[in-house]
Amino acid sequence: MTGLRTTYSPLVRELFERLPHAGDLAPGPGTVVHGEAIALDRGAWVRYEARIKDGRVADCAFRAWGCPHTLAAAALVASRMQGHCIDAEAAFDAGCLAMELDAPPEKLGRLLVVEDALSGMLARALALQLT
Amino acid sequence: MPDRVPIYLDYAATAPLDPRVADLMSECLRDPALQGNPASAHAPGRAAAVHVESARGQVAQLIGAQPESIVFTSGATESVNLAVLGAARAAGSSKRHVVTARTEHRAALDACRQLEREGFTVGWLKSGTDGSVDPGQVAAALRADTALVSLMHANNETGVINDIAAVGRICRERGVTFHVDAAQSAGKLPIDVDGMGMALLSFCAHKLGGPKGIGALYLRHRPRPALQPLQFGGGHERGLRAGTLATHQIVGFGLACELARVGLATEPARIRALRERLWAGLQPAAPVAQNGAAEPGLPGILNVRFPGVEGESLLFALDGSLATSSGSACSSATAEPSYVLRALGLSDLAAQASLRLSLGRETTEEEIDRAARLLVDCVRRLRAPLPAGASEAIA
């Protein structure tokens, strides 16, 4: 048996404590899209849900299972997606998240799951807009 | 951040030093009359030796042994190594087989792997799903060339107790040396080395309120098991463990054993009641399950899993409030789950969702109630944002 050995940045601690945007979207106008990525072997499962209005993310929520870095990254991305244009290049790749959260290298695989869930959601939003 | 000291529920890792032991050790370190080498023939050496021998008696009494059966070591890991490597190597060229279990502590596992590198064959027993090793399995694993059986009395992760007396009878009948790792059980359960039939028994001070850095290996007096020493240089401890004896450590170990022996009349029942109170207090966090059989089990260990909860997040959420151990090395690059829990049939994710909560001498009802509330709150908070279906998939 082991104890906690990883260190966590103040931002990870703050996001983990509050988990902003965790849960489900409240009912409201606009189209709702989802994106989900599951990698149990890597220790992460992330699902995003966003309401799209006028080509932008009007609201975003997430559900997730994973380590503190995964949960903090999922919350950080959900916060930053508010008002984000769906066809703009998202600046939330795993490398950027790792840098911003000061995550150790072994967490990169889990942050890729966050990135995959987000990419899936934005791709669906874009596809809906094109149709 | 919490404004008070974390609740300590990691007694299976180590117990806080008993203040009475600390006082005695401090006195010993300061006493000018006790500064001699206990192996020296002059007056200060003889004075130190008197204290060492008195402590040896206290240590022996805890396990129902004679003082001359005790060899002091640096701790249980060294004792286990001395027993496993020393007994196997001393058994001769016709005895090259050793039996142990996959759920043993790393001290025994790694010593057995070393024996494999030296050409020994090791029979690795699997525990049942309750965590215990069936004595019948031990009997079936014995061969004509078996030199040693090494098993733990109580598992360090689950607290599950093996039927040592039954294995002892089997080994005695088959003329096989039997070593017991009692690092977790000494001072927590009654041990009678003669009645339980072991030839060798390892334990240490720091699990029972004594200092870290001191342990003991019991060697049966008659017939005495053959043992090769691991280190050389002075012939201390009847040639089995060279090195100047640390008088203050040994004196502290002696008192810790004495206190544990006296406490055996009441402490196991008190701690078992606290463990049951903790288990009841965790029920609002359902689903919650125990890993390993609850009985027979060490009074102070409760290994629980919370399906759907990620182990590192749980430890992080508890950090600063509760000192405990998780079922995985989840913060390491390999994220390797506990091999003991996996041996019980748990999946990697279930092992990672597990905590070992271990109670001891200073644990109070108030701490147990507070720990249960903390755990329930943390588990609920971590389950709240789970994706649909995650809890079942991660069980």
Taking 80 as the threshold, does the pLDDT of residue A115 lie above it? Answer: yes
| Residues of chain A found within 8 Å of residue B10, distances taken between Cβ atoms | 3
pLDDT, position A89: 61
Among candidates A45, A71, A106 on the partner chain, residue whose Cβ is nearest the Cβ of B387: A45
Among residues B209, B237, B263, the one where a domain terminates is B263
Q: Do A68 and B313 touch (CB under 8 A)?
A: yes
- What beta strand segments (E) does chain B contain? 7-8, 70-73, 97-101, 121-125, 146-152, 177-181, 200-204, 215-219, 289-290, 301-305, 322-323, 325-326, 354-358
Distance from CA of A17 to the nearest CA of B (A): 8
pLDDT category at B102 given cuts 50, 70, 90 is very high
The domain segmentation of chain A, as residue ranges, is 10-130
Among candidate residues B250, B346, B253, B240, the one with its CA nearest the CA of residue B292: B346
Closest Cα partner for B361 from B155, B187, B183?
Answer: B187
Q: Please report which helix (H) or strand (E) contains residue B107, including its range.
A: helix B106-117
| Residue B256 falls inside a structural domain | yes
Quick one: what percent of chain B has pLDDT higher than 70? Answer: 97
Domain A10-130 CATH (choose: 1.10.3210.50, 3.40.50.1010, 3.40.50.970, 3.90.1010.10): 3.90.1010.10
Chain-chain contact of A1 with B349 (C-beta, under 8 angstroms): no
| Count of Cβ atoms closer than 10 Å to residue B235 Cβ | 12
Closest Cβ opposite residue B310 in set A6, A62, A65: A65
Q: Is residue B257 part of a domain?
A: yes
- pLDDT value for A98: 94
> How high is the mean pLDDT of chain A?
90
Does B366 lie in the same domain as B313?
A: yes
The predicted model gives B22-31 an average pLDDT of 97
**Same domain flag for B53 and B79:** yes
Helix (H, G, I), strand (E, B) or coil at B188: coil
Residue B316, H or E segment: helix B311-318
- Report chain B's mean pLDDT, rounded to a whole number: 93
User: Do B191 and B315 share a structural domain?
Assistant: no
Q: Is residue B26 part of a domain?
A: no
In a domain, B323, yes or no: yes
Per CB-CB distance under 8 Å, the chain A contacts of B298 are none
**B63 within a domain of the structure (yes/no):** yes
Q: Give the mean pLDDT of A88-117.
A: 89
* Cα A99 to Cα B236: distance, rounded to the nearest angstrom: 56
Q: Name the token pair of A123.
A: 């791709």
Tell me: do B95 and B234 sit in the same domain.
yes
Domain count, chain B: 2
Task: Residue B183: give the domain boundaries.
Answer: 31-263
Residue B19 tokens, joined: 């203040």
Quote the radius of gyration of chain A (alpha carbons, Å): 15
ipTM of the shown complex: 0.92
Q: What's the pLDDT score for residue B328?
A: 56
Residue B392 or A75, more confident = A75
Structural domain includes residue B333 = yes
* Chain A contacts to B (CB-CB under 8 A): 1-6, 8, 16, 19, 22-23, 36, 40, 43, 45-47, 62-68, 71, 105-106
CATH no. for residue B365? Answer: 3.90.1150.10
Which of residues B233, B263, B293 is at a domain's end?
B263
pLDDT at B329: 45
Which pLDDT value is given to residue B130? 87
Looking up tokens 């190594």 gives B81
Could you give the angle at which helices A10-18 and A68-81 cross, rounded to 10 degrees? 80
Looking at the fold, whether B313 and B364 belong to one and the same domain comes out as yes
Please give the positions of B annotated as active site.
330
Q: How far apart are CA A106 and CA B107, in angstroms?
A: 28
Q: Residue A119 burial by CB count (10 A; 0-12/13-18/19+): exposed, middle or buried?
A: middle
- Contact, B182 vs B63, CB < 8 A? yes
Q: Cβ B386–A63 below 8 Å, yes or no? A: yes
The verdict on B178 and B67 lying in the same domain is: yes
Task: Name B179's bridge partners.
Answer: B150, B200
DSSP H/E element including A61? strand A56-66
A18 CA: distance to closest CA in chain B (Å): 10
Instruction: Judge whether residue B288 has pLDDT over 80.
Output: yes
* pLDDT confidence bin for B295, thresholds 50/70/90: confident
Q: Out of B210, B229, B263, pick the residue that ends a domain.
A: B263
Predicted confidence at residue B129, as pLDDT, reads 85
Same domain, B140 and B188: yes
- Is A1 in Cβ contact with B13 (below 8 Å)? yes
Q: Is residue B295 part of a domain?
A: yes
Please give the DSSP secondary-structure letter assigned to residue B39: T
